[in-house]
Structure 1
Amino acid sequence: MLVDRMEGRRNHFDILRFVAASLVVFTHAYAISLGHEDTEPFMLLSHGQSTLGYFSVLVFFVTSGFLITMSFDKSRSPGYFLKARILRIFPALIIIVALTVFIIGPLMTSMNLKEYFMQTETYGYLRASLLWPMPYELPGVFEGNVNTGIVNGSLWTLAYEFLFYLVVAGLGITGLLYKRVLMLLMFVITVILSNVPLPFGGNTVELFSIFSSGMVFYLYRKEIPYHGGLALLSLVVLALTIEYGGMIAAFPIVGSYLTFYLAYGRRVNLSGFGKRGDFSYGIYIYGFPIQQIISKQFGGSMDPYINFLLAYPLVLLCAYVSWHFIEKRALQWKHRRWNFSREIKRRSAALMHSK
């Protein structure tokens, strides 16, 4: 059973998410260097169904569904859960948004600095730190690149991610999260809806079908067998859908099973990888602007492989700094309980004592 593997306390989620984030950077090298992703390898292999980047986004969402449901299940309270989720998303996001507006923007804009800082759009980009509505352009920035004006195209998924965190919290607070049959029915309905044309909300439904797959895998962890034969069957089905169509429809089941099979595999022990830090979020949010900067230095377009090879070490460096100096430190605050009146009294007493 999957739960037996979980109780072994070794998993490879860190390395899976690290690889997924890196593949997003690889795919973006095509969009940024060429202005399109038509010739990206997985786009060609899947006959236009998906890029490696979007496939990796699906892996992110299925693992998030699993891990976030587990996080709520093990949290001491809904408030603690929400605090942890806020601290995971927003501190690093606020920093990259501020760096983009006040460092990257002034250096990369075609305007003079006075013009740039007089534009309302410059400060409107700060809305990105709130996730919605998500702006993508800054005045004059990257306007000569083939991927015109887009400052950080990776951020679009974060609003969905945080929305689904709130859904888990809402379902948990009401007790619906633990009605497993109801959650399974919700998953089936979202998978069906994600494969029919909808007048609005198509991305939300498609991504939630993947996220809810992870939720269901966690809720049914005691019943889902961990078996190499099922993993092989899932791989075959996924390969057939990549070749003949229906990959997105099949992913919530076969893609999810493969993801968790790999995450809890014990033949190769990579569980120590995460001890160096969780760099996947930093890779994801820093990749796009760094790649745009490099493309600008090459006249706005270039070979995507060169873009990736030049950008990736810089992206890793930024992810390392982001984790050790922002993300990890921010997460430490989730364990602190603040009594503001007591804190004010303590600080006042300390001030009086110092006098």
Structure 2
Amino acid sequence: MKRRAKPPRLSALAIGRDNHFNLIRFLAAVAVLVSHAWPLALGRGTVEPLKTALGYSLGELAVFVFFGLSGFFIAGSYDRQGSALSFVTARAARLLPGLAVSILIVALIMGPLVSRLDAGTYLSHPDMARFIVQNILLFKPQYTLPGVFTTNPYPTVEGSIWTLAHEVACYALILFVGLVGALSRRRVMAVLLALYLIAWVVAPYLGDLIHPRLLQTRLLSLPFVFGASCWIWRDYITLRWPFVVGLIVLTWAVHATVFAFPMLALAVTYTSLWAGYCKLDPLLMFNRVGDYSYGIYIYAMPLQGLVVWVWGDMTPALNIALALPLTLLCAVSSWHWIERPALTFAREGQRGSLITRRIAPRR
């Protein structure tokens, strides 16, 4: 009798690009758009149906997916590059060009067209300049523009970008761990992980000593750290559907306890990795079209507000139907004209620097 083949370790799966992570991130970004349709169409405080059932909105769950996968791939990125400069360059190229172009389009093209202020007053308004600078730099993001969407049920121009500053904070955590040489030393990482978990538990009890934004980072960093841990201990992890089911059942079992969010973060991260490496050949074709998730994420909310401004009162379903095609158009354009060229430029610059260092004469 033949023995069943042992399922491959995560380290064996995490080789090459034959996976479904572009598709998963795409669906997560669309889920954020769908989730935002309720408050944008019906007003602030409107509860999305899924949040009533699960305690978390579809958009919140999608953000946890983003952070869990990001932890895995960002830890892997630093591990492979082994250079702080290359790591920072790659991360900046992935985030900033697409974000900067989207903010400029929203502020300088869409804003003057829909603002209740005349163009001169709008363009000279200090809040317009702050919107551009603070949102591109991710420093105290500003979510409104002068006179824009003021009659909408939810008069906000931007919203989703609030998570990007926390994403950068998580990048900084990986950078720190990499710089001190701990990322490839599992025993040291185990100690650091234990210290992180202790700090995670203690932080809410420190009251005013912890800034509210740090508490938000604390929340989102947990799936990120779980994802990074999966990369660090990838030689010991297997991805199996019974484990997925078990984690989901455990998450439901502890939903009314202090372990609710940690179990949810772990379940979401593990399930996302399992789904990403469940190779279904027809779905792999999606990788040929590009990675449109970031473009969807940064363009969705302004365009959802725009369709409300143009067509007036609407249901969440109509908001999704009108905004999704426009968002996809902007996301496709952003990937092919902004994001991918920026990533290519960054990679070529890194290769050039590496070649220069190799051939430079020794002194």
TM-score with structure 2 setting the length: 0.86
For 1:270-349, list aligned pairs within 5 A: 270-299=283-312, 301-337=313-349
Mean CA deviation greater in 50-59 or 178-187: 178-187
Quote the offset at 1:265 in angstroms: 1.1
- Flag the 1:267–1:120 CA change in 2: closer, same or farther, 3 A: closer
Task: Give the Cα separation in 2 of the matches to 1:114 and 1:9.
Answer: 49
Quote the offset at 1:231 in angstroms: 1.5
Task: Give the Cα separation in 1 of the matches to 2:82 and 2:97.
Answer: 22
**Map of 2:138 onto structure 1:** 131
Report if the CA contact (8 A) 1:30-1:37 is conserved: no
**Map of 1:2 onto structure 2:** 10
Task: Give the Cα separation in 1 of the matches to 2:317 and 2:258.
Answer: 27
1:17 to 21, 25, 28: 25
- Flag the 1:236–1:38 CA change in 2: closer, same or farther, 3 A: farther
* Count of matched residue positions in the alignment of Structure 1 and Structure 2: 336
2:150 to 139, 143, 147: 143
2:35 to 14, 27, 32: 27
- Flag the 1:85–1:258 CA change in 2: closer, same or farther, 3 A: same
Tell whether 2:175 aligns with 1:169.
Answer: yes
1:82 to 77, 88, 98: 88
- Flag the 1:264–1:37 CA change in 2: closer, same or farther, 3 A: farther
Query: Secondary structure in 1 aligned to 2:93?
Result: helix
Quote the offset at 1:295 in angstroms: 0.8
Q: Name the amino acid aligned to 2:320.
A: F
Report if the CA contact (8 A) 1:190-1:205 is conserved: no
Q: Name the amino acid aligned to 1:324.
A: H
User: CA offsets per residue over residues 316-350 of structure 1, 9 Å max, x none?
Assistant: 1110000000000011111233899xxxxxxxxxx
User: CA offsets per residue over residues 296-335 of structure 1, 9 Å max, x none?
Assistant: 1233x42011000111011011100000000000111112
- Note the residue ranges of structure 2 that are not aligned, 5 or more in a row: 1-8, 354-363
Task: Give the Cα separation in 1 of the matches to 2:22 and 2:269.
Answer: 16
Quote the offset at 1:252 in angstroms: 2.4
**Map of 1:349 onto structure 2:** none
2:109 to 83, 103, 109: 103
**Map of 2:248 onto structure 1:** 235
**Map of 1:346 onto structure 2:** none
2:194 to 178, 185, 202: 185
Report if the CA contact (8 A) 2:204-2:215 is conserved: no
Report if the CA contact (8 A) 1:278-1:323 is conserved: yes
Quote the offset at 1:109 in angstroms: 0.5
**Map of 2:215 onto structure 1:** 202
Task: Give the Cα separation in 1 of the matches to 2:315 and 2:257.
Answer: 30
**Map of 2:238 onto structure 1:** 225
Task: Give the Cα separation in 2 of the matches to 1:197 and 1:33.
Answer: 38
1:251 to 258, 264, 267: 264
Identity %: 31
RMSD between superposed Cα atoms in Å: 2.3
Q: Name the amino acid aligned to 1:263.
A: G
User: CA offsets per residue over residues 123-145 of structure 1, 9 Å max, x none?
Assistant: 11112111102111111011111
Tell whether 2:79 aligns with 1:73.
Answer: yes
Task: Give the Cα separation in 1 of the matches to 2:344 and 2:110.
Answer: 29
Quote the offset at 1:176 in angstroms: 2.5
Quote the offset at 1:272 in angstroms: 3.0
Quote the offset at 1:244 in angstroms: 8.5
Quote the offset at 1:241 in angstroms: 5.2
Report if the CA contact (8 A) 1:45-1:243 is conserved: no
- Flag the 1:255–1:85 CA change in 2: closer, same or farther, 3 A: same
Quote the offset at 1:81 in angstroms: 1.2
Report if the CA contact (8 A) 1:283-1:315 is conserved: yes
Task: Give the Cα separation in 2 of the matches to 1:165 and 1:52.
Answer: 24
Query: Secondary structure in 1 aligned to 2:234?
Result: coil
- Note the residue ranges of structure 1 that are not aligned, 5 or more in a row: 341-355
Quote the offset at 1:173 in angstroms: 1.1
